[in-house]
Chains A and B, each alone.
Chain A
Amino acid sequence: MLHFESHITTSRISIDAVARVAAGLAPFFVRQETFFQEVVVSQIVAERLVKSYDVPERGGGLSGLFSMRTRKVYALKDVSFRIERGELLGYIGPNGAGKSTTVKILSGILVPDSGECRVDGRVPWSDRIAHVARIGVVFGQRTQLWWDLPVIESLDLLRDMYGLSQAEYRPWRDVLIERLDIGSFLQQPVRQLSLGQRMRADLAASLVHRPGLLFLDEPTIGLDAVSKLAVRKFLMELNRDEGLTVILTTHDLDDIETLCRRVMVIGEGRVLSDGSVENLRRQVSDERVLRMDLRDAAAAEAAATNLAGLPVRIVSREGGRVVLRFDPDTIPPTELLRRITERCEVTDLFIEFTPIEEIVAQLYTKHQAASSASVVPAEGAV
């Protein structure tokens, strides 16, 4: 009986399925292979990542008590990117855009609904333990240090968690202590530290095991200017001297401008822009800001009328200062300067880029306008 059944199964497979499976698998193998080749090149490969959360939605009244409906909210709709070894990448976007979700997927904490991801050739969530041994993570608003223990004991604990020998641990720990300037409060319990001190200690903790890749989720949030500069300087040196890949999410666009050669902007679960900071500027608006100081308010007013014929936009006028904007493609800066000095008596003058905050804000507005425009017909179709 048993034998008979197995015989049937075998024959069914041989006739029908095997050919189909073989035909189906051939392209699959080819795809896998190209995917792998790309992995060898990039340290991080993320392909079409999608991640949604089920958010409970309670109806009002009594029925709400009994039925628990959930709504799917997409944190990532379609996110793909590649990151090379030694990059220092800024990852920015408004709250809820999916920044932290991306970082958590890359660090093996969250599993995406779909999409592929390799870090150093590993799938972070399925190979979690091997993966996390090679990465460092800092979530800015939370600490990985033991609250009641002195900083040094937290570091020693992490040494044991990562299974480091004293020889591996101690010299590097001393470098971190020196570079981050945390020596003075090593013996204090973490709860007594200031935010800036804590962040520096947290950075040390995330690097104890010499990871090749560091994720920083808002590392400068809430820090005072001095601590911010110290953290930035340290990251820059680490990236330069150790070839450490750093991925940093932030709301502080100064972080991006001082640190990152590449910036990725995410909004509503999609990558809106990916490239150099200049590239981002060009993508939205290449406008420059020109500030000029004149003798007094009257001179400024005269200047404003004098500039009427030029392709510039006056943004503000306050006392003797006039701020205006222009597009270098319509009028080259040198040409503009010549015309201005011809017409007005300028005491001081400087040109700068549009602040990156504004660029990002414009990018979001642009994107939202585009997506809401595309939503209307889609809804009509439904």
Chain B
Amino acid sequence: MNGGESAEEGGAAALSKPAHSAPAREPRPAGLKPLWAVTRARFRMLLRYRGAALGGFITQVFFGLMFVMVYRVLYEGDGAAEGAPMELSQVVTYLWLNQALFAMQPWQPDPEVRQMIRTGSVAYELTRPCSLFWLWVARAIAMRSAPTLLRSVPLVAVAMLFFGMQLPASPEAAVLYVVSLTAALLLSSAITVVLNSSLFWTMSGEGITMLMPAIVMTLSGQNIPLLFYPAWMQPFMAWQPFRGLLDVPSRIYTGSLPPDRALLEIAGQFAWCAVILAIGHWMVHRGTRRLVVQGG
């Protein structure tokens, strides 16, 4: 996308005329353009690392198979399937969906932002005419969506062809799933921005990077559908925000959440997005206030 080079020539003319005659451009709010640009850049960058995508694909197939096998064994026990909150076919599909979206989960702060804060080049981010918060949201959306797209398409194809993953439960479920998935992406990105901004205080972010996988893995339903947790934990599981990352969309897809309840759950996802974005906004704001760019 280096744009049609053949268009206007005559660049050299610009230097010969004095600066004062150069159009004095009033800065205008750049709007969504920079955000879109960042997203595109991330996609192009990822496409340069196809090897990593292939590696990710193989890992996810392996883990997917493993978990599916575990649940098959569980369901084979005498009478085991009777009290189960989901059917085996639903669980299998749920697990494959979660594997496909592995790269979308907020495991860690944006490594680019982490690098920038460590080296101090975050200073450059502040010299752009954009809100740092929205710039980071855009970066996070790009970072969470690009690799996921690259890995999930082949993974879903393989899982459907060979490993028992099913199509959406109904056309309504398919449509609702797309909406819910969008909410999940936004939610993950919002959490990522919160993680990013915590780096203003901790600098290294190592603690978070160790803590987040445990939280996300348990509370999103990554490997164990949330309905499988004991009854006394269900109210908590239903209300915590991480559920919107995987459990809600995957249950909508499998039909475990009927369409009328799905709408409510999607509203819940967006509500959590709003809350976490607000927290992120506040933290970025506070963080930049106290920011001391390293290397004074």
Contacts and interface: CB of A to CB of B under 8 A. Distances in A.
Nearest to A104: B293
Interface in B18-56: 18-20, 22-23, 25, 27-31, 33-34, 36-38, 41, 44-45, 48
B214 interface: no
B289 interface: yes
Contacts of A271: none
Interface stretch (A149-157, A304-312, A350-358, A364-372): A149-157
A214 to B, nearest CB: 11
B216 interface: no
A81 to B, nearest CB: 18
Contacts of A146: 41, 45
Nearest to A146: B41
Interface of A: 53, 75, 96, 98, 100-101, 104, 107-111, 128-130, 132-135, 137, 139, 141-144, 146, 148-149, 152-153, 156-157, 160-163, 166-168, 170-175, 177-179, 186, 189, 209-210, 212, 237, 241-244
B218 interface: no
Nearest to B13: A171
Contacts of A130: 27, 129
Interface in B107-133: 119-121, 123-124, 126-131
Interface in B225-268: none
Q: Which 6 A-B pairs give the minimum distances between C-beta atoms? A: A174-B11, A133-B27, A160-B37, A163-B30, A242-B19, A142-B121
B171 interface: no
15 contacts: A104-B293, A128-B126, A135-B127, A142-B124, A153-B1, A156-B37, A163-B28, A163-B29, A163-B33, A166-B7, A170-B11, A171-B14, A174-B12, A242-B15, A242-B19
B10 interface: yes
A108 B128 CA distance: 11
Contacts of B22: 210, 242
Given A153-B41, A166-B7, A171-B8, A129 B18 contact: no
Given A149-B44, A171-B13, A161 B120 contact: no
B121 A144 contact: yes
A153 B45 CA distance: 10
A156 B3 contact: yes
Interface residues of B, number: 50
B289 to A, nearest CB: 7
A77 to B, nearest CB: 14
A171 B10 contact: yes
A152 B7 contact: no
Contacts of A134: 27
A243 B18 contact: yes
A204 B66 CA distance: 51
Contact of A210 (B2, B25, B120): B25
A305 B36 CA distance: 77
A241 B18 CA distance: 6
B79 interface: no
A109 B126 contact: yes
B121 A161 contact: no
B296 interface: yes
Contacts of A108: 126-127
B8 A160 contact: no
B25 to A, nearest CB: 7
A242 B13 CA distance: 12
A131 B11 CA distance: 27
